[in-house]
Each structure stands twice: as C-alpha cells, then as structure tokens.
Amino acid sequence: MSETQSPVMKGVPWWRGAVIYQIYPRSFADSNEDGVGDLPGIISKLDYIADLGVDGIWISPFFTSPMKDFGYDVADYCDVDPIFGTLDDFDHLIETAHGLGLKVVIDQVYAHTSDLHDWFRESRASRVGPKSDWYVWADAKPDGTPPNNWQAVFGGPSWTWDARRCQYYMHNFLPSQPQLNLHSEEVQDALLDVARFWLARGVDGFRLDAINFAMHDQALTDNPPRDLKGRKPTRPFDFQDHIHNQSQPGIPLFLERVRQVTDEFGVRFTVAEVPGANALEEMKAFTADDKRMNSAYNFDFLYASTLTPRRIKRSLDGWTGETGEGWPSWEFSNHDAPRYVSRWHDGSNPVAFAKMANALLLCLRGNPIIYQGEELGLEQAEIAFEDLQDPEAIANWPMTLGRDGARTPMPWAAQDEFAGFSVTRPWLPVWDAHAEIAVDGQLADENSVLRYVRAFLAARKLSAALQIGGVTFVDAPNPIVAFWRTLGEERVFCAFNLGGAPVEWEPPLDKAATAIVPTDWSDSTSGIAPPFGVLVATD
C-alpha cells in the first residue's frame, strides 16, 4: 500500500474502491511500427499510468485470435497473438507493472470462442467426439429453418448451419464466435484451467466479458417480443426480450467455481460485465455473499444519452451496502460505448465538463474504471465509412452507435504525424481534435484535464470515505447532484453542477469546510454553483 494512502485502508482488500485504468491494446501504443498497439507499447507507458495515480490496469484481449471481433474471438486462451507480442512480453509487463505498484487485470471471454479454436474444430467434426457437446448445437426444424427465433447482437439469427454435422450452431455475436456450452462441466473445467494459467503468471484479477451471455435455455424456447415503448430498433436483436438465450440460473453457480479458483491465489479481483435490461438484478446475483464475483458493472452510464442527477441517484441507490451485497464498479465510457464527453456535454466548455465528469466518477461509491483517454477529455472520434473496422458499425451503418470512434489511437505527442502512437499509419485514423489535446501538451499545462485528474486521484488516495465509504444523497436543484461520502468520523461532501449555466444554491457546509481539490467552486460559502462546477470538501 502506498505510504500516501489513508491509514484506514490498511487491511481492506486492495481492489475495494480501487481505480482501474482500462487499456485497449490495439490503440494504446505501437512499439514495432506496424500501426497496431502491443504489449511492449503498454510497458513503455506504464510510468505514465503509475504517475496518473490509479491502482491497476485492465487490459482488453491480447490472446491469439483471427481478430474478426478484435480479440473477443479467442482462438487460443493461453497464448498472446503475435500482433501484440509474446508470452515473455506479457511476463515482462506483469513484472514492470508490479514494480510500479500497479495491479494487472485481464479479460476473460467465457461465453464463446473463435470458430478457429481447436475446441470448435473438434466439436464440429463429429456428433459423437469427445468435444461434440462443448458448443451449442441443434437440429434444424422440419422445414430446415433455425431451431428457434433467437437473434444475434450483430445482426441476423443466432444460428449458422454447419454441413459437417448437418446441424446449426449457436452464436450470440458473430457467426465466427460459436457459443460455448457452459452447461457442460468439462467446458467449465477447461475454462477454469485457463484462469489458473494466467493467475500462475501473476495476474491480479479478471474482467469477465458479457458473462450473462454464458448460458442458454437448453429447451431452446423462443424469446418473446419486447415492448418497444415507441422506440425504433436499429437491429433485430432489439425486438426481443432475451430471457432464454442469456441470464440463466446456472451462471451464478459457475461464478462460484471461478471464485474458488481465484481464491487459490490469494486476494484477486473479479469484475463481471453485465449488459441487458435486468442488469441490476444480475449484478446482485453475480456478486452475492462474497462467494462469486467481487464486483460488476452495467451499461447505466455507458449508453446513456444524458447525464442527470436522477440517473446517478437511480444507479447508486441499487447499492445500499446491505449484508451479502457485492460491490459495484462504474464506467462512463469504454471500448464498446461512445465517449461520454460527446454524449453528455452541451458544447459550451468541454474541458470544464471533462474535469467535472472525471471528478464525479471518482466520487461514486464503487470502483471507478477510467477508459484510456478519458483523463484527457477525449471526445468521440469521427470515422469515415471507408475507415470503419468494427463489424457491428459496418453491418448497421449508419444507424448504429459504432465502436470505432471510441477505439482510435491514444494521442501522446501533438506534433508527431500520428500523435506519437506510431510512426506508421495506424489501424484506425488519429482524429485531429485528439492530437490537439495530446498527453505532452496536457502535462505542460497546469490547467489541463490530465493535470486535474492526477491531482484528484492523489487527493482521493488520502480519503477512505471516497474510496470505500457510504453514500447519502442531498436535495439540490437540478442539474446539481450532491451527496455525502462517509466512513466513521470522516465525511466528504460532493456536489457537481452537471449543466453549463450557473445555479443558485447554498451547499450544506459550514465556513470551515476545506475543498480537497481547488476549483471555481472552492468557496463553499458561495451561493452560486458555477457551470460544470465541482465541490468536494471535508466537513
């Protein structure tokens, strides 16, 4: 534990209240001049991440893959794809990160593999082989159509015909991502062996990708239509309630087995990604009773088109700290969701808005996850159709959120041709607006978003209340959200003006209150909340 950390945090598991920095490796730093980020590139920037003041990193998939879904289609769970480096590079990354006091969390994709995985090659070869039931296979209906009406996230039916077995196989995403049959104990055992492989190499935890897609209704019951409530879907997937192709009761029991494995290696962190309409209920189930996942996050903020006090309160009110309850995590943006500065701010002052939103994320009860570039205030990049790489964006153009705009290269140096990410043309273009606010310029500017986030993270480490304390909301006029974070006798008041106009309001603080990080709202006795103002103060 850092000597500058609150002494109250001694004995608390390292992950509880930790700030995690998400790295999308393709777009972080390119070390070998091929236009794609890699593990050595990440190693070269670990000092930057440590100086930022976070507690650990989460690295999106770097495993062997044909890259049809950019790593989320795994062909070998226990090796590094050559485009990212080698296992030796990964071992060096672990050693370097740990030397800097950073924990390392990696993705695990347990719902599906690539169709090039050896397991699938063997499964599709025969209906009677050793791995014949390792994936979800089903006969056609008498008229040759798919077994049921399930639809894939990326468009079209969740079933693809395979002439080798004369059956359909299931896929919730791309046809090249066949669904694993996690009802099979042998499949579960194989995945747990994968977990042990990486834990033995020193990883500090796992983020489980789309884990509520990991099991299906074995009766293959049709999904019912969804009440669209006047919305106009952009893909067939959105027309259904997904009560049979995901969110099955066996998933929490599998997560108990995952937890048993991680506990074999000491204190490790596990966080579940839980998309979907019933995310809160599933997050609670997946993290219950300290015997499943440590934490979970949903898409409350990731796909939200606006940021309002009501949304924030509704999300946090689901986590009251009752006995047996897990611990939430929060992301405002990630590799799957458009950057929040573009979704939420009104265009008047993106720098002030980015400072405010970063501070808000760091004050929520739970684990804040900062997606690479959020500490710079990056907006969603504009990508021309001819430059798109994301299969979902291409399939649903132009009626899609698109993921490429959040996956463009990290801008390190404003004056370099490709913003310091690479010396050659990157796999996705560098947006000019990103290069203008690159890391080097922000480090030199004491008023930058980056310098502000670094200062806020340093202050947060000194406050146990901000890290693990409870939360109590305070009445405030819209668009201000205000709450207390408390732990024992420590109380921290947090207030944020989410809007771009001043608001008359008197914070419930006495004149002796001290702001943790100075802002335009540092005077706690002022009756005016400045635009995008932040007030975080000790009572």
Is there a single domain that holds both residue 342 and residue 361?
yes
Q: Is residue 163 one of the residues assigned to a domain?
A: no
pTM: 0.96
| Pairing verdict, β 480-487 and 470-474 | antiparallel
Is there a single domain that holds both residue 44 and residue 97?
yes
Are the C-beta atoms of residues 494 and 515 closer than 8 Å to each other? Answer: no
* Residues classed as catalytic: 209, 264
Residue 304 in 3-state DSSP? coil
Are the C-beta atoms of residues 283 and 326 closer than 8 Å to each other? Answer: yes
Question: What is each CA distance from 315 to 269, 297, 318, 444, in whole angstroms?
Answer: 22, 11, 6, 36
Q: Which residue has the tokens 């635009």?
A: 531
Residue 367, H or E segment? strand 367-371
Is there a single domain that holds both residue 435 and residue 481?
no
Q: Is residue 134 one of the residues assigned to a domain?
A: no
Q: Is residue 498 one of the residues assigned to a domain?
A: yes
Is there a single domain that holds both residue 365 and residue 495?
no
Is there a single domain that holds both residue 301 and residue 256?
yes
Is there a single domain that holds both residue 432 and residue 391?
yes
Question: What is each CA distance from 364 to 74, 159, 283, 473, in whole angstroms?
Answer: 34, 41, 17, 11
pLDDT tens string, the chain, 539 residues long: the values are 344 667 788 889 999 999 999 999 999 999 999 999 999 999 999 999 999 999 999 999 999 999 999 999 999 999 999 999 999 999 999 999 999 999 999 999 999 999 999 999 999 999 999 999 999 999 999 999 999 999 999 889 999 999 999 999 999 999 999 999 999 999 999 999 999 999 999 999 999 999 999 999 999 999 999 999 888 888 899 999 999 999 999 999 999 999 999 999 999 999 999 998 889 999 999 999 999 999 999 999 999 999 999 999 999 999 988 999 999 999 999 999 999 999 999 888 999 999 999 999 999 999 999 999 999 999 999 999 999 999 888 887 877 667 999 999 999 999 999 999 999 999 999 999 999 999 999 999 999 999 999 999 999 999 999 999 999 999 999 999 999 999 999 999 999 999 999 999 999 988 778 888 877 785 555 689 999 999 999 98
Q: Is residue 195 one of the residues assigned to a domain?
A: yes
Domain boundary among 435, 459, 483: 459
Q: Where are the beta strands (DSSP E) in 166-211?
A: 167-170, 205-208
Is there a single domain that holds both residue 402 and residue 295?
yes
Give the domain extent around 519: 470-538
Is there a single domain that holds both residue 514 and residue 434?
no
| Pairing verdict, β 167-170 and 137-138 | antiparallel
Q: What is the pLDDT of residue 525?
A: 53
Is there a single domain that holds both residue 350 and residue 440?
yes
Domain boundary among 426, 459, 492: 459
Q: Is residue 167 one of the residues assigned to a domain?
A: no
- Tell me how far apart the alpha carbons of residues 536 and 522 are, in angstroms, rounded to a whole number: 8
Token pair recorded at residue 365: 């009860």
- Tell me how far apart the alpha carbons of residues 466 and 459 are, in angstroms, rounded to a whole number: 9
Domain boundary among 436, 459, 482: 459
- Tell me how far apart the alpha carbons of residues 303 and 194 are, in angstroms, rounded to a whole number: 31
Is there a single domain that holds both residue 349 and residue 272?
yes
- Tell me how far apart the alpha carbons of residues 505 and 499 are, in angstroms, rounded to a whole number: 13
Angle 185-200/251-263 helices, nearest 10 degrees?
Answer: 30
Domain containing residue 247: CATH number: 3.20.20.80
Q: What is the pLDDT of residue 527?
A: 85
Q: Is residue 373 one of the residues assigned to a domain?
A: yes
Q: What is the pLDDT of residue 1?
A: 37
Q: Kindly tell me the burial class for residue 257, based on how many C-beta atoms sit within 10 Å of its own C-beta (0-12, 13-18, 19 or more).
A: middle
Is there a single domain that holds both residue 369 and residue 490?
no
Is there a single domain that holds both residue 480 and residue 438?
no
Q: Is residue 368 one of the residues assigned to a domain?
A: yes
User: For residue 520, how many other CB atoms are within 10 A of its CB?
Assistant: 18
Q: What is the pLDDT of residue 287?
A: 97
Q: Is residue 164 one of the residues assigned to a domain?
A: no
Task: Say how many domains are in the chain.
Answer: 2
